[in-house]
Structure 1
């Protein structure tokens, strides 16, 4: 796995991932490559799949068409035939994040994308038609849908999180959402002091990061190094924030971190996490292409780090 990210495993037992300028579809049961999608001139940076039982199997990849010109495109693929079905582009602007709208019945081809610095756009991925566009005051880094309520959407920004409660495929959100602030795990002076005395992992275990409506000091506001925000589909009102060397588990009801997964000093940094739907487990993709599974065992917290064998 190179610059691209993996997609969640579908009901067919398939996994799609990007490697250099290719998108590969692999049978996870037999470890055989079923399809190689070749149409890229630069490294693939994101892969999103629509694993739906009664719909044609599709895979989306976000690629840099021309590195010199900064031309970004979304290509919709038919995995069965290996043919490109549609290309989506917003005036040569980059695309920060994208996701299928799998939890609604309006259409099988709806795709939400983040266009920097502060736009979200809903596309019909079958025709390449823009359905609506919404701008926000903050620069948007990524987003995540609440798996328990399709009208709830969280936007990760450079300063905090914007919670949207009126998302609908039929029209753009009317409100600007509710903005909250979160301090970086590296910004706390007590964190640095404890890390020197007892080690990074014990220090992180004691950190309680408060989600607040008030903007913290400039020194403590830094979500630019946060790689990913994601609701946990296995537990209502829980969310994770992914940093290169730790994963924070947030309880949105009490507005605090309730778990921390830290990599040891010699460990390989994270680049993506895929939460499990039916149990408290996280598939973690690391910078060296290794994938680890971290599971919350009974009578143990998520901070119990399993063996990092791939």
Structure 2
């Protein structure tokens, strides 16, 4: 049976202000407080109060390597608020580990950036000035930063098969592809290309969802208006397009089968079985169909 956690939300506590880790814990923002919920016991176990303004992004740190220091194995959560401050906290003790910010910017997206099998201390952050920063969450210092002054950036998704590959959404229906993200040096200026070639001047053509497929390599889902585009970032081309409902606020690809979860604005969640048939390598087309199951 579904369970509801009581509480109130701020308009900025959007779809990015909730995250679920592998240990069965959910962290979500309620105004400027992070609540930690144990979903196995249906119980709120902790509250974290380190922000002065509403929280807009929450991200769990990935599980640490078995080779790492066992004293650092407690769950760590990163959170950002609309004032641009990023806080790193111990989810069980509610202790703040560090806090940092990039001057005069807000935080648009965050991703924990594991370094091989050793470190889980780095956070890749997109700031509102189209600046990408790799932060060291232990020291609170920038490892590197790169400003894309030639193009506005609003969101990004990291390739689950290769962390060097990152795709950013830009204005209109354009995306920026970077294939050289690394710990050692800043990213390059990347390659910009347009998703849809048809005239979209009469409607809003901005990208509102972008995420890598977790079951297929070099495959990205991009939502624009009432269409879902399947894009190959390596070839920088659109493979397929299917119509979708206009009230979908998030897509969550499955890593174990060719399927997608869709979250709707009315709180409903639907499950879609997809059939994706890539053609031979280096050919920019494919067959993609999607059927709603529940």
Question: Distance between the aligned counterparts of 1:80 and 1:244, measured in 2?
Answer: 40
Residue 119 of structure 1 corresponds to: 131
Question: Distance between the aligned counterparts of 2:113 and 2:59, measured in 1?
Answer: 11
Residue 79 of structure 2 corresponds to: 61
Residue 147 of structure 2 corresponds to: 135
Question: Distance between the aligned counterparts of 2:236 and 2:190, measured in 1?
Answer: 19
- The TM-score with structure 1 as length reference comes to 0.73
Match of 1:161, SS state, is: strand
Q: CA deviation at 1:47?
A: 1.1
Q: What CA deviation, in whole Å up to 9, does each residue of 1:268-300 have, x standing for no partner?
A: x23333322222233333334444443437999
1:204-283 matched pairs, under 5 angstroms: 219=201, 223-224=205-206, 226-243=207-224, 245-252=226-233, 255-260=237-242, 262-263=244-245, 269-283=247-261
Q: CA deviation at 1:11?
A: 2.1
Match of 1:237, SS state, is: coil
- The TM-score with structure 2 as length reference comes to 0.77
The answer (yes or no) to whether the contact 1:72–1:89 under 8 Å persists in 2 is: yes
- Specify whether residues 138 and 297 from structure 1 end up closer, same or farther in structure 2 by C-alpha distance, changes over 3 A only: closer
1:69-88 matched pairs, under 5 angstroms: 71-88=83-100
- Name the structure with the higher helix share: 1
- Specify whether residues 270 and 295 from structure 1 end up closer, same or farther in structure 2 by C-alpha distance, changes over 3 A only: same
Q: CA deviation at 1:245?
A: 4.7
Unaligned runs of 5+ in 2: 1-7, 66-72, 278-286
Question: Distance between the aligned counterparts of 2:74 and 2:291, measured in 1?
Answer: 40
Residue 55 of structure 2 corresponds to: 44
Match of 2:107, SS state, is: coil
The answer (yes or no) to whether the contact 1:240–1:249 under 8 Å persists in 2 is: yes
1:166-177 matched pairs, under 5 angstroms: 166-173=180-187, 175-177=188-190
Residue 13 of structure 1 corresponds to: 24
Question: Distance between the aligned counterparts of 1:90 and 1:298, measured in 2?
Answer: 40
Residue 214 of structure 1 corresponds to: none
Residue 93 of structure 1 corresponds to: 105
Residue 155 of structure 1 corresponds to: 168
Q: CA deviation at 1:236?
A: 0.8
Unaligned runs of 5+ in 1: 65-70, 189-218
Residue 197 of structure 1 corresponds to: none
Q: CA deviation at 1:222?
A: 6.0
Residue 183 of structure 1 corresponds to: 196
> What is the root-mean-square deviation in Å for CA atoms of aligned residues?
3.0
Question: Distance between the aligned counterparts of 1:298 and 1:180, measured in 2?
Answer: 23
Question: Distance between the aligned counterparts of 2:152 and 2:276, measured in 1?
Answer: 39
Q: CA deviation at 1:141?
A: 0.7
Question: Distance between the aligned counterparts of 1:107 and 1:277, measured in 2?
Answer: 23
Q: CA deviation at 1:103?
A: 6.0
Q: What CA deviation, in whole Å up to 9, does each residue of 1:6-57 have, x standing for no partner?
A: 5553221222222333322223334332322233343221111113055431
